[in-house]
Amino acid sequence: MNAFNVRLCCIALLLFGWLLGSVSPAAGQTPPPTGDESPVLSVGKLVAGAATALAMHEAGHLVFDAIFDASPGVKKVSYAGIPFFAITHEPVSPVQEFAISSAGFWVQHATSEWLLTARPHLRREHAPFAKGVLAFNVLTSVVYAGAAMARIGPLERDTRGIALSARIAEPWVGALVLAPAAFDAVRYVRPEWRAARWASRAAKVAGVVLIIRAATR
């Protein structure tokens, strides 16, 4: 399943790539009153949002592990000589493997969809926690997609589990993971683009429908 080094990379990217947009008001936004919230508190909320998204991603895997009685565990893994850990489970059927491996992405997609639908102008809000959640979801998908397309990383990575259970090449799984993230990023920046909204939703549904491939194995 998913290795923790991917999450650490995403949180690092959050701090460097999304910090300015989360702490500072977007163009045209009225800044919060002086003294309303310190930059340190805003950064703390950003990181808390990312940490919450991480917990939700992992919870998605664990829920399906429990549903399928897959005996989840923790395994030490390493990549490029850096030690981390991965959540593992006992061998299961292809459909069950697909669901377990996909669950983290399903949670991310559902959370991002809820945020961008309920708060389409999130970029203009001073909402570092919500932006931390969305940024984690988007950046985790980007990192996973890159690993899938290059076929690198621990053997327990989610995209490999999806590819093996659905009998498709892992780079195609990477594309399916990347598409919703890319469209969600566009929706965040340009909420008025209806095409991006519906393309994002279609890409998310496509990732779920792929379970049919695992079911026919």
111-138 residue pLDDT tens? 999 999 999 999 999 999 999 999 999 9
Residue 38 pLDDT:
84
> Residues 155-182: pLDDT tens digits?
888 999 999 999 999 999 999 999 999 9
Residue 39 pLDDT:
85
In single-letter form, the type of residue at position 128 comes to: P
Q: What are phi and psi of 84, to 5 degrees?
A: -145, -165
Contact indicator for 64, 106 with CB cutoff of 8 Å: no
C-alpha to C-alpha distance for 179 and 171, rounded to whole angstroms: 12
| This prediction's pTM | 0.81
- H or E element in which residue 44 lies: helix 39-67
> Residues 31-80: pLDDT tens digits?
454 447 788 898 899 999 999 999 999 899 999 999 999 888 777 665 55
Positive or negative, the Cα torsion across 8, 12, 13, 18?
positive
Residues, the chain: 217
Which pLDDT band holds residue 199 (cuts at 50, 70, 90)? very high
Question: What residues does each domain of the chain span?
Answer: 4-215
Q: Looking at 91-192, list the stretches that DSSP marks H as alpha helix, in order from N- to C-terminal side.
A: 94-118, 128-150, 158-166, 170-189
Helix axes 128-150, 39-67, angle to 10 degrees: 50
Contact indicator for 3, 85 with CB cutoff of 8 Å: yes
